[in-house]
Amino acid sequence: MEPLIECRVLKKYFNTDSGTVQAVDGISFSIFPGETVGLVGESGCGKSTVGRTLLKLIQPSAGEVLFEGENIFDMDRNRLDRLKRKMGIVFQNPYSSLNPRMKVADIVAEPIRTHRKYKKDEIRRLVIGLLEKVGLNREHLTRFPHQFSGGQRQRIAIARSLSLNPSFLIFDEPTSALDVSVQAQVLNLIEELQEQNHLTYLFITHDLDVVRHIADRVMVMYLGKLVESGPVPEVFESPQHPYTKALLSAIPGFEPGIRKERELLEGEVPSPIDPPPGCRFHPRCPVVIEKCGQIEPELKTNRQRQVACHLCEM
């Protein structure tokens, strides 16, 4: 099967007054049609930057992103606009991602009006259909975002993301701003919509428990690099990278097969402006060896598993 989206040696650096932030530093991966891939890591590891760069919402510094085999970074404006209809993103905070001065009907209809020529009543019919898909209804059309709960606002954001009938959606921490009680409902909705609409997802989150429930594969990022990836059952049962083991050990009540004791991460994530040499994880790694501070481990592949650690044989 050909990947729907393929990311090749993607880099995104930001120049700041304090230096160059290496937010994403040469990561490569593929996502296949119908898959849900979880992208996880601590705050500041670059995972949200990956999502925004994949959709060219921000300019990449280097690399390629192929969607259905075409490099979106090489396209002219018209082609990119047409292709972007097939891709969408749902952001973390439904309180800031929806325009507070627009009615729900206009929020959901805006992408349709921009990209397609429909008559007014056709647009209204499409918008009602989208609202019903996410568990809302026509009574909500004339209301403003502040009249909804957080969970309902995220449903509106999801309806909007579906308005152009995309094949690929990125969810960037879609439930972390919501009450625990509504998180499960929104996750269930996201799963149902995938099945009904044959969607492919990149699910960005710091919450590995969410990934365990929703994703087929997981990719673990640390300070701009991918350090481990693989099918969710395998990575959760038998994590290889010390960072993945530490993240998993922080899930309450979760005990991966190979680990008996809790491995808490010590220290802060180092600055991406001046990342540590060698393995970027070495200042915090509980099993660091001498060469870790000098030589960067390559990301080794064995079938569906990948890991970048000097101590891991694949």
What does the alpha-carbon distance between residue 66 and residue 50 come to, in Å, rounded to a whole number? 14
Q: Of residues 272, 285, 299, 306, which one binds ligand SF4 by CB under 6 A?
A: 285
The CB-of-259 to ligand SF4 minimum distance in angstroms stands at 15
Number of other residues whose CB lies within 10 A of the CB of residue 191: 14
Which segment (33-41, 186-194, 245-253, 282-290) binds ligand SF4 by CB under 6 A? 282-290
Q: Considering the complex, state which of residue 139 and residue 261 has its C-beta at the smaller distance from ligand SF4.
A: 261
Which segment (1-9, 94-102, 201-209, 285-293) binds ligand SF4 by CB under 6 A? 285-293
Q: Considering the complex, state which of residue 232 and residue 308 has its C-beta at the smaller distance from ligand SF4.
A: 308
Residues in the chain, overall count: 314
Is residue 281 near ligand SF4 by the rule CB under 6 A?
yes
Which burial class, exposed, middle or buried, applies to 201 when counting CB atoms under 10 A from its CB (0-12, 13-18, 19+)?
Answer: buried
Q: Of residues 71, 287, 290, 302, which one binds ligand SF4 by CB under 6 A?
A: 287
Is residue 307 near ligand SF4 by the rule CB under 6 A?
no
What does the alpha-carbon distance between residue 180 and residue 111 come to, in Å, rounded to a whole number? 30
The CB-of-243 to ligand SF4 minimum distance in angstroms stands at 6
Q: Of residues 41, 60, 63, 242, which one binds ligand SF4 by CB under 6 A?
A: 242
Q: Where are the alpha helices (H) located in the chain, listed in sequence order?
A: 47-54, 77-84, 104-115, 120-133, 150-161, 180-197, 208-214, 232-237, 242-249
Q: Considering the complex, state which of residue 218 and residue 223 has its C-beta at the smaller distance from ligand SF4.
A: 223
Q: Considering the complex, state which of residue 40 and residue 72 has its C-beta at the smaller distance from ligand SF4.
A: 40
Sign, CA dihedral 262-266-268-271, equals negative
Here the tokens at position 183 are 């998180």
Q: Considering the complex, state which of residue 75 and residue 288 has its C-beta at the smaller distance from ligand SF4.
A: 288
Here the tokens at position 314 are 């694949």
Is residue 292 near ligand SF4 by the rule CB under 6 A?
yes
Here the tokens at position 142 are 């004339």
Largest interatomic CA distance in the chain: 68
The CB-of-301 to ligand SF4 minimum distance in angstroms stands at 16
| Residues of this chain that bind ligand SF4 (CB under 6 A) | 241-242, 279, 281-282, 285, 287-289, 292, 297, 309-311
